[in-house]
């Protein structure tokens, strides 16, 4: 727990180029693919955050060789050709959903006994849909406490393959986890995603990474077939800047005026959260989306009605803009975020209310009215996205302090330093 951090009011428009770290979602996907690949891989622009560190440490525990140059933001991975070197391992993923969930399917490819666990919050986050899907493919896997949450034990003998159904209504990570391991199953894996898929663009991201590394995935009448025996190839892979992290910087022009450019993140991105630029446009910003970057310029801030089911990590950014808008905002499609690093719906509603906003909390939505905000300490609940989004309020409202700002280490350890440099630019 770190001391509270007071955010200085900016008091002028911003005009800057924002440097953003590599995508957490892409980094962890590429790490899994590289570990399973035939040959070495060099990953460039990787994220150095808690989620990545947990994944790297777990892969090393499993016997993979990784060389991480943090200064150069590269990781070199010696691939195992679909084999897991260790036959016994205790793996810990903290509160990193991608790490814990991806590891469960990864170790299923091995031979032996593997235990995958997380922190106290991760032990409350459901994983039973993934376990049911793996069981349908012939994997012996169980929730240790019988509650469908970690810790999980996998008695591994490879993934036989076949057909499985995975619910998409809680998290897209369950489908992605199975898909990432599927090319090394003994026979084809046919995956059906049942229900309305939360975070559908993240599954598309997974498919894009898999295909780029040589896997063969086909769509068949609403199902995905992954061809067995078409494993991954090593190679030189670039990780895009993180679109969710970029959302905080791209929101600044609507909050304080001016413009912000994020280079290296453009129209061809694999990341679904790039669609947040459309939300900013709906809220009044002028958005220039190019193949090599994004520029957002100020406009008259107005409320928005938007379903964030596909880009739910960004709803918090929209929520902290909403009290300053000229009309109410209705943010929907967010019920599943109650089961993430915190109950994000309740947390955002409570902290905005403590700052003076008028907020209506519903099961799957927030209605946020134009309000006059005042300073207060913001509780972050150990959630990096609460800390990063609410820090923006302090650039406009005096007296906003972020409790436990160090929680941003999960995905963006130097967020406050980069924010400080950004608002110091002219």
Q: How far is CA 13 from CA 37, 39, 252, 283, 419, in A?
A: 47, 49, 9, 18, 14
Phi/psi at 293 (nearest 5 deg)?
170, 175
For residue 70, the tally of other CB atoms under 10 A from its CB is: 9
What token pair was written down for 59? Answer: 């892969």
In angstroms, rounded to a whole number, what is the distance separating the alpha carbons of residues 116 and 225? 27
Q: In whole angstroms, give the CA distance from residue 35 to residue 59.
A: 8
Cβ atoms of residues 105 and 180 within 8 Å: yes
What DSSP element (H or E) covers 248? Answer: helix 243-250
Are 406 and 382 a contacting pair, CB within 8 Å? no
Say which of 117, 129, 188, 313 is annotated catalytic.
313
In angstroms, the CA 396 to CA 373 distance is 9
Per the annotation, the verdict on 343 as an active-site residue is no
Sorted by sequence, the CB contacts under 8 Å of residue 381 that are 6+ apart come out as 341, 342, 343, 347
Q: Burial of 218 by CB count in 10 Å (0-12 exposed, 13-18 middle, 19+ buried)?
A: exposed
Q: Is 100 in a helix, a strand, or coil?
A: helix
Decide the pairing of beta strands 74-78 and 40-44: antiparallel
Sign of CA dihedral 246, 248, 253, 257: negative
The count of C-alpha atoms lying within 13 angstroms of the C-alpha of 58, restricted to the half-sphere facing its C-beta, is 30
Rounded Cα distance between 13 and 258, Å, is 5
Active site residues: 313
């Amino acid at each position: 727990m770190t001391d509270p951090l007071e955010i200085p009011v900016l008091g002028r428009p911003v005009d800057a180029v924002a440097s953003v770290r590599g995508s957490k979602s892409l980094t962890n996907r590429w790490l899994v693919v590289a570990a399973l690949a035939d040959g070495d891989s060099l990953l460039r622009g990787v994220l150095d955050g808690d989620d990545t560190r947990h994944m790297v440490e777990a892969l090393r525990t499993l016997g993979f060789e990784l060389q991480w140059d943090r200064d150069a933001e590269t990781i070199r991975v010696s691939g195992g050709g679909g084999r897991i070197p260790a036959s016994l391992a205790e793996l810990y993923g903290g509160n990193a959903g991608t790490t814990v969930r991806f590891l469960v399917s990864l170790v299923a490819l091995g031979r032996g006994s593997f235990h995958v666990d997380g922190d106290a919050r991760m032990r409350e986050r459901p994983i039973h849909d993934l376990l049911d899907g793996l069981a349908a493919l012939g994997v012996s896997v169980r929730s240790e406490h019988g509650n469908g949450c970690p810790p999980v034990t996998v008695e591994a003998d490879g993934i036989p393959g076949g057909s499985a159904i995975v619910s998409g209504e809680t998290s897209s990570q369950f489908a992605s986890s199975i898909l990432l391991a599927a090319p090394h199953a003994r026979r084809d894996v046919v995956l059906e995603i049942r229900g309305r898929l939360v975070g559908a663009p993240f599954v598309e991201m997974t498919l894009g990474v898999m295909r780029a590394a040589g896997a063969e995935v086909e769509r068949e009448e609403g199902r995905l077939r992954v061809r067995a025996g078409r494993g991954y190839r090593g190679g030189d892979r670039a990780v895009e800047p993180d679109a969710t992290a970029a959302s905080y910087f791209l929101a600044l022009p609507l909050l304080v005026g001016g413009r912000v450019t994020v280079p290296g993140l453009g129209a061809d991105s694999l990341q679904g959260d790039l669609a947040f630029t459309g939300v900013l446009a709906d809220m009044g910003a002028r958005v220039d989306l190019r193949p090599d970057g994004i520029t957002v310029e100020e406009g008259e801030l107005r409320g928005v009605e938007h379903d964030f089911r596909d880009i739910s990590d960004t709803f918090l950014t929209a929520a902290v803009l909403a009290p300053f808008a000229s009309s109410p905002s209705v943010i929907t499609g967010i019920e599943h975020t109650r089961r993430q690093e915190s109950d994000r719906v309740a947390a955002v509603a409570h902290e905005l209310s403590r700052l003076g906003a008028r907020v209506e909390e519903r099961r799957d939505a927030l209605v946020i009215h134009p309000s006059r905000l005042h300073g207060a300490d913001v509780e972050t609940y150990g959630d990096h996205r609460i800390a990063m989004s609410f820090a923006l309020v302090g650039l406009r409202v005096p007296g906003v302090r972020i409790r436990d700002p160090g929680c941003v280490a999960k995905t963006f350890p130097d967020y406050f330093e980069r924010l400080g440099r950004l608002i110091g630019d002219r």
